[in-house]
Amino acid sequence: MSAAGQNMNCEDYKQAIAADPSESFDGGALHSSECSSCNAIKAEMQALDVRIAAALAIDVPDLKMPELPAITGEGKVVDLASRRPIRWTTPAWIGLAASVVLATVIGVRMTNTGMEHAGMVDGTLAEQVIAHLDYEPRALTVTDVAVSDRELYSVVRPAIATLDRDLGLITYAMSCKINGREVPHLVIQGEKGPVTILLMPEEMVGMPIRLEGKSIEGVILPVGNGSIAIIGERGERIDELKTRVTETVKWSI
Amino acid sequence: MNSSDADVGRKHRFDRLVGVWHRDMYRYAAWLCRDPAIAEDVVQEALLRAWKSLDGLRDDAAAKQWVLTIVRRENARHFERKRLETVDIDNLTASQAAMLAESSDSDLDDVRQAIYRLEDDYREPLVLQVLMGHSTKEIAELMDIKPGAVLTRLHRARNKLKDEIGEGAAA
């Protein structure tokens, strides 16, 4: 290497990039931008990490939820052999929220969104998506402050999906639970306001599900073996967002 | 608030802070012990511990690190109790072999086997970084080692994997 990277030599860089292929360490980006051989090593390590992430993402079985004992202050952890396993169930809040949405479908307006989905195809998923909007209203803040790469990629992990920042100004990223599965919940700032995007790699839908409300609209889009929900304010360019989302998000599982 | 309301509130908090991570808990446990059946037991024990200790979680934002720490401890407890011998990849039990069941992707199988063969000290930080999205500092706290040691283990782990599996079919 010649004058590349004033604070880091190639040997240091090789060790650092093998420990952290995201290149978040000090001086890494500067060094690789000026050193072609180290830049090639970075690409090699990042390609290796994609393979590692895929290999680590083993199938998760239907886990059995242990019976949770009443907490009396002197509670004792129940012995494995004496527990009666039950199926892992959808958390109670999802059940409650879904009930609220069902009430919406039969004519009662929901608190924030006033939203329902057109038709009843894949109703359960649509109901949970809609309910989730009311569950995390703080996500829908108008802001120009983007989430950090670290925050974003700890939610959209390589084992789930890859995406790039071309998606838009991402101002919220949180792991949430839809239909009993952990999914990345992102918010980007659209033309009319915040747009919610739920990446659901394991929720297959047969066709796009249109979501319509008094003040907002959206769609659950089939993408590969999963689906992506996109919900924005009324008048938001959902069709344009659909294209952008499908171009920038790739499932890993 | 009466006791029934408190129970419901506790269950909601548990679902929100602990239940949401159950898939990560399982995968972390599976790669720690390299046995899906044991991983399920470890996750069940960890869920019970988390339920009992939920009041001790003061910072909701730290819930994931907290539950993974519980999984790690439960895994250690399990092996202290069982005193299981070292896994020989050529002589796996049916449950262990299930974790390496062949898929339609031979490269994926090769990488998975290579990770399976990695020493525990190298495999664990790799799982925490790549699969769980943990920072070096978070891994160091979880494993109770220094950040420098985490980085050393990570670069050695990747170099070992690179030597073993090469650049793969996609490269």
Q: How would you class A252 by CB atoms within 10 Å of its CB: exposed for 0-12, middle for 13-18, buried for 19 or more?
A: middle
Are the beta carbons of A181 and B168 separated by less than 8 Å?
no
Is the predicted pLDDT of residue A118 greater than 90, yes or no? no
Distance (Å, whole) CA A56 – CA B116? 9
Residues of chain B numbered 23-42 and touching chain A (CB < 8 Å): 23-24, 26-27, 30-31, 36, 40-41
pLDDT digits (tens, 9 = 90+) for B104-134: 788 888 999 999 999 999 999 999 999 999 9
Phi-psi region of B166 (alpha: psi -120 to 50; beta: other; left: phi over 0): left
Q: Give the contacts of A136 (CB within 8 A, at least 6 positions apart).
A: A174, A176, A185
Q: Which H or E run contains A173?
A: strand A170-178
Q: What is the Cα B47 distance to its own chain's centre?
A: 14
Give SS3 for A181. strand
Residue A178 banded pLDDT, cuts 50, 70, 90: confident
A10, A68, A72, B14, B147 from B7: Cα distances, Å? 57, 11, 11, 10, 40
Is the predicted pLDDT of residue A111 greater than 80, yes or no? no
- Delimit the domains of chain B by residue range: 1-89, 102-171
Distance (Å, whole) CA B104 – CA B79? 33
The secondary structure of chain B in percent helix, strand, coil, rounded to multiples of 5, reads 75, 0, 25
Are the beta carbons of A48 and B31 separated by less than 8 Å?
no
| Mean pLDDT along residues A75-92 | 32
Judge contact between A160 and A211, C-beta under 8 A: no
Are the beta carbons of A52 and B115 separated by less than 8 Å?
yes
Judge contact between A27 and A10, C-beta under 8 A: no
Are the beta carbons of A55 and B108 separated by less than 8 Å?
yes
A82, A141, B10, B15, B40 from A64: Cα distances, Å? 14, 37, 20, 14, 8
**For an interface test with A, which of B96, B106, B111 has the most A Cβ atoms less than 10 Å from its Cβ?**
B111
Report angle CA A60, A101, A147 to the nearest 5 degrees.
60
Is the predicted pLDDT of residue A199 greater than 90, yes or no? yes
Judge contact between A207 and A199, C-beta under 8 A: no
Q: Give the contacts of A160 (CB within 8 A, at least 6 positions apart).
A: A57, A184, A199, A201, A251, A252, A253
Angle separating helix axes B63-82 and B136-143, nearest 10 degrees: 40
Q: Which of B10, B48, B115 sits opposite A56 (nearest CB)?
A: B115
Residue A42: its chain B contacts at CB < 8 A?
none
Is the predicted pLDDT of residue A7 greater than 50, yes or no? yes
pLDDT digits (tens, 9 = 90+) for B57-89: 878 888 899 999 999 988 988 877 665 555 666
The domain at B1-89 falls in which architecture? Orthogonal Bundle (1.10)
Judge contact between B113 and A57, C-beta under 8 A: no
B117 touches A: beta carbon within 8 Å: no
Are the beta carbons of A92 and B8 separated by less than 8 Å?
yes
Which ipTM was obtained for this model? Answer: 0.88
The pLDDT, as a whole number, for residue A6 is 56
**For an interface test with B, which of A46, A49, A58 has the most B Cβ atoms less than 10 Å from its Cβ?**
A58
- Closest Cα in chain A, distance from residue B160 (Å): 10
Topology of the domain covering B102-171:
Arc Repressor Mutant, subunit A (1.10.10)
Query: Which region among A173-182, A222-231, B86-95 has the lowest average model confidence (pLDDT)?
Result: B86-95
- Closest Cα in chain B, distance from residue A128 (Å): 15
**For an interface test with A, which of B23, B42, B113, B167 has the most A Cβ atoms less than 10 Å from its Cβ?**
B23
| Mean pLDDT along residues B157-168 | 88
Q: Which of A19, A88, A93 sits opposite B151 (nearest CB)?
A: A19
Q: Within chain A, which residue ranges are assigned CATH 3.40.1000?
A: 92-251
Residue A150: its chain B contacts at CB < 8 A?
135
Is the predicted pLDDT of residue A113 greater than 50, yes or no? no
Q: Which CATH number fits domain A92-251: 2.60.40, 3.40.1000, 3.30.40, 3.30.300?
A: 3.40.1000
Residue of B nearest to A84 (CA): B44
Residue B11: its chain A contacts at CB < 8 A?
68, 92
